[in-house]
Structure 1
């Protein structure tokens, strides 16, 4: 039995929280959930998208994620770690934006996606705050962006780049390379409120958004393909957007539970306990 399991015997609530996190993070993928709504696999529909459309979706996705990180993370109330989250409010907002963009094609995607991505980002940050994380903290903001990588893999990913901890690993590696630049930065200016200057903050945001958008763009393409199915329209647009925000709320809840437990027990004990629980789920 690993260290966390031994120590958590005296803290049953923490073990229950970890079990909940594993259940959320190892649940069926967003792709599978959308396929159930449409009634058919999405892979074929995505492959039928013209290359120009796929490239445009990826471009819109990256821009939307960048704007959402700036808008949502700067405007959230950052003074109340532990404040209860409001998941229903974000789902209602997502449904409304999805209905507007339901069947409008690529033109409405460029309008609707930045709005829905900002709603999801606020939902993620809301959950991070409810788990006791400070939204002024550099690491918390990075963790909020990491959640958007949990919905799908880039076609450029190595086969081993799967799983919750592997997905987290790619942002950790990115920050390791960037840390040397950050280490010499004076604490100045406002930037993103990360404790670094505006120039450094902008470079950090661009680097991590580019990485995360490669994965988030996969599920955005699938959502676009799903909405392009005949007779889907605005109703499915609202349904899929509600599903989108609900999925990322689940990912955020699991993600920040795990990170909270890591602060108490350490990274490696939690990782081992997570893998043990996930293995039992799959067995």
Structure 2
């Protein structure tokens, strides 16, 4: 950090960074759902019956595994497209997916969650491209998947009961992303159950599961219905779109001004 002493980000960059930090550190999905439902939404997968908890974890693992496959096989195909990200299109499709979850409850999670997750991933990739990312690079596509691990806005706690901020989560994810990227570059996608890929999915799943549990708690309300389920899924994708904008804004600033300066400025901001 000594190299960035007495060096200051330009005012415009500082404003962008401050907004990104506001989203990343103070903007959890539980707050959105509480506003929508008029009552606090708190949930833990560990409060579910064992059978239900296992089913949810299987759905989360399947969703992230499918998303990883999509990220590595197809996201690069959109790397030459220009223009604004298609956020509304993805949000509408996610809403249609969520309608089934609201109508039929938790029984549909195995079918609905992978669809929602892939829709979110494609929207995240669209945002990444709009911020100057090269989706033909494996690391960039995995950075899109990383967004599912970046929900620290409500200071959710993982199994070790440790609170992690944005840069701490990125640091914790760095080895898994590096190992997975190197594996894919060297061996391709012939073995999706290879340890580097499985470890990456598991690491992301630790934090993604916290958000999924809050989503399920809201959808489990008996009167929520199809319309409410669609709205919850719209909030779900909107939440990750916000995180993606913040994440890839910071990565853009890092490419321009250097990671050390951006991180130091981020950490000194209140």
TM-score category, normalised to shorter length: 0.7 to 0.9
Counterpart-to-counterpart distance in 2, 1:40 and 1:47: 21
Counterparts in 2 of 1:175 and 1:86: CA distance versus 1, 3 Å? closer
Q: How does 1:25-36 map to 2 (within 5 A)?
A: 25-36=24-35
Counterparts in 2 of 1:203 and 1:151: CA distance versus 1, 3 Å? same
Counterparts in 2 of 1:104 and 1:79: CA distance versus 1, 3 Å? same
Q: In the comparison of the two structures, how many residue pairs are matched? A: 265
Q: Deviations over 1:102-127 (max 9, x none)?
A: 13133311111111100001011111
Is the 1:69–1:121 Cα contact (8 Å) retained in structure 2? Answer: no
Tell me whether 83-92 or 113-122 shows the greater mean CA deviation: 83-92
* Candidates 158, 164, 167, aligned match of 1:165: 167
Is the 1:4–1:273 Cα contact (8 Å) retained in structure 2? Answer: no
The equivalent residue for 1:129 is 129
Aligned with 1:103: secondary structure?
Answer: helix
Aligned with 1:43: secondary structure?
Answer: coil
Counterparts in 2 of 1:60 and 1:4: CA distance versus 1, 3 Å? farther
- Output the TM-score relative to the length of structure 2: 0.86
Counterparts in 2 of 1:51 and 1:269: CA distance versus 1, 3 Å? same
Q: How does 1:132-143 map to 2 (within 5 A)?
A: 132-143=132-143
Counterpart-to-counterpart distance in 2, 1:75 and 1:250: 23
- Output the TM-score relative to the length of structure 1: 0.82
Is the 2:71–2:145 Cα contact (8 Å) retained in structure 1? Answer: no
Structure 2, gaps ≥5 residues long: none
Is the 2:71–2:142 Cα contact (8 Å) retained in structure 1? Answer: no
Q: Superposition RMSD on alpha carbons, in Å?
A: 2.8
The equivalent residue for 1:75 is 74
Aligned with 1:116: secondary structure?
Answer: helix
Tell me whether 199-208 or 54-63 shows the greater mean CA deviation: 199-208
The equivalent residue for 1:194 is none
Aligned with 1:8: secondary structure?
Answer: coil
The equivalent residue for 1:8 is 9
Q: How does 1:203-282 map to 2 (within 5 A)?
A: 203-277=195-269, 279=270
Counterparts in 2 of 1:157 and 1:36: CA distance versus 1, 3 Å? farther
The equivalent residue for 1:23 is 22
Aligned with 1:168: secondary structure?
Answer: helix
* Residue 55 (structure 1) shift: 1.9
Tell me whether 232-241 or 42-51 shows the greater mean CA deviation: 42-51
Tell me whether 41-50 or 98-107 shows the greater mean CA deviation: 41-50
Q: Deviations over 1:233-263 (max 9, x none)?
A: 2122111100010010000010011111112
Counterpart-to-counterpart distance in 2, 1:203 and 1:53: 27
